[in-house]
Chain A
Amino acid sequence: MKFFWEARKVILLAVLIYLVLKAVFGFQLLSQYIEQITLFSFIVILTSLGLNVIYGYTGQFSLGHAAFYGIGAYVSAYLSKSLGVDGILGFMPVLFLSGVGAGLVGYLIGIPILRLRDDFLAIATLGFGTLVRVILDNSDRFSEVLGGSRGFVGIPRITNLELAFFVTVFLILVTRNIIFSRFGLFWRCVKNDELASQGIGINTSRMKLMAFSYGCFLAGIGGALYAHLYTFLHPSNFDILKSIDFLIIVIVGGMGSIVGTIYAGLIWVGFIEGLRIVLPAEMLDLRWVFIPLFLIALMMWRPYGLIRKGG
């Protein structure tokens, strides 16, 4: 089991970061609000990393990533509420199941749609995202507790610094190990040239399905952490706009760059929430002017994302 030994430097760094955060939040040097968005940024990083696996590494364009994030959120909220889970230990299996649930849905939906190419895949994932949104809007018809368009309320708050931080770090390491293995290599082959990949014996449908369901699994975990951080879910948190947020983070950070996704996730959350603090309330909507301007400037300056200078 060389998992921890190989990653010792990253783990050491992570523990240091954790201790600093623990001290800062423990002594209440920063507001609760800052703590909340810090945890949220980990969730965003984890979920975006899932999309990076799908799109950045394997080249499968998805406009429906937030749907899988939403599935994870609703599954975990439903499970923990109906099972009466309120502690971290009891929550671990719920967390895992939420990831698996989102991954499984990704797998099933992936079988028909991953055959499609680029633009058709975009439409299909967009359609799926819309479908999930509609189902969530009407979820109270299946079970009152899901809340439908009024939102899912009263979810226990379980996500804390330890859970959000270490789950994210652990899954980043797992993802890194897959990326730097034959599977990650095959994903990149598929992205480069599907026919050539088949020509050397790669089962491309299987590799695409694997990347897609793994990416959805990460989104599901992210969603579950989100549900138990904010304790309230609304279908509008999981619509196409949210999918585009994740897409922007992947592109800004750099397609196929784990470190890039981490930076971009932090910057994204910092930027949006930071502007919320800086700008007066009546000018809050100006964020949606600044952000596109920032993105245009960035794409002109660094078309391959923050980290890489070239293709």
Chain B
Amino acid sequence: MKALAIEGLEKGFGGVRAVDGISFSVEEGETVGIIGPNGAGKTTVFNLITGFYRPDRGKILFYDKNIAHLPPHKLPRLGIARTFQNLRLFGKLTVFENVLSAVLVRGGYNLLSAVFRSTDYFVTESKAEEKARKLIEFFNLTGKEDQAAENLPYGEQRRLELARALALEPKLLLVDEPGAGMNPIEIQGLVQTMNEVKRRFSLTIVIIEHQMGLVMNISDKIVVMDFGEKIAEGTPEQVKKDKKVIEAYLGEEPL
């Protein structure tokens, strides 16, 4: 079953065709990597899927439902969660609050229950706190719960953002360059974490990544973008040998 299908997606900014008629699909449970040079339009595709941008043309089907014109805050409820290329944590909130907020968005008590401290409030809060603790443990952040997110080292901030996204219990997870700015050892850890995430949460994943080691290792399929278009698609092995891909990357880091 197709979890995500992108059909003829287009988005321009002034004269720039950031995304120029892209189509690809993602099977349920699959991990798809999107690669391509800087400025190829990868992040724009994510912003279109998650409602931060409105497409000029094209369809975005999530389990056959067109989600192309939904506002961003509706998507987590449908089962789509994302991380941001430039890390967007709630910097002044604690690690614990960062995860807890995402757990509590999904549901719970109303304002009156909060004001008058009904049973509903206590039950929901304690369940949510337990869930947040578990996620923090899974991402190896135990002991840092009360630190402000902005004070964590970079690699841990990346993990925290993943924890927050998974707190939404998504069916589809979109990850934008999780390895950016990490050293090779941190990348190793990230590959491990991503593989554990896949095993544990039975997710469909789309991952944008520059670190070829990472993306080739965890993806079932790779989509290659350049100048807003898809120039190749296939298994990591197929894509590595593709002529157009090698050309697009000429002058960049070798595959």
User: Residues on A close to B: CB < 8 A?
Assistant: 1-3, 6, 174, 177-178, 181-183, 185-186, 188-189, 192-193, 195-204, 311
* Bound form: Cα–Cα A50–B71 in Å: 29
Distance of B65 from chain A, by nearest CB (Å): 17
Decide if the interface of chain A is mainly helix, strand, loop or mixed.
helix
Q: Which of A2, A181, A193, A201 contacts B90 (CB 8 A)?
A: A193
Answer whether residue B72 sits at the interface, using C-beta atoms and an 8 A cutoff.
Answer: yes
B73 touching A201, Cβ below 8 Å: yes
A202 touching B93, Cβ below 8 Å: no
A181 touching B121, Cβ below 8 Å: yes
User: Residues on B close to A: CB < 8 A?
Assistant: 50, 52, 71-77, 81-82, 84, 88-93, 97, 100-102, 104-106, 108-109, 111, 114-118, 121-122, 124-125, 148, 164-165, 167-168
Q: A1-B116, A185-B100, A204-B73 are in contact. Are A199 and B50 (CB under 8 A)?
A: yes
Distance of B84 from chain A, by nearest CB (Å): 7
Q: Give chain B residues whose Cβ lies under 8 Å from the Cβ of A188.
A: 90, 92-93, 97
13 additional A-B pairs beyond A193-B90, A199-B81, beta carbons within 8 Å, are A1-B117, A2-B122, A174-B115, A178-B114, A182-B108, A185-B97, A185-B104, A186-B105, A192-B91, A195-B88, A199-B72, A200-B81, A200-B164
Q: Which of A1, A177, A201 contacts B77 (CB 8 A)?
A: A201
B114 touching A177, Cβ below 8 Å: yes
* Bound form: Cα–Cα A174–B164 in Å: 29
In the complex formed, the residue of B with least CB distance to A192 is B90
Q: Give chain B residues whose Cβ lies under 8 Å from the Cβ of A192.
A: 90-93
Q: Give chain B residues whose Cβ lies under 8 Å from the Cβ of A195.
A: 52, 72, 84, 88
B117 touching A200, Cβ below 8 Å: no
| A–B Cβ pairs within 8 angstroms, 27 of them | A1-B116, A1-B118, A2-B122, A3-B117, A177-B114, A177-B117, A178-B114, A181-B125, A182-B101, A182-B124, A186-B101, A189-B90, A193-B89, A193-B90, A193-B91, A195-B72, A196-B90, A197-B90, A198-B71, A198-B73, A200-B101, A200-B102, A200-B165, A200-B167, A201-B74, A203-B73, A311-B92
Q: Give chain B residues whose Cβ lies under 8 Å from the Cβ of A186.
A: 101, 104-105
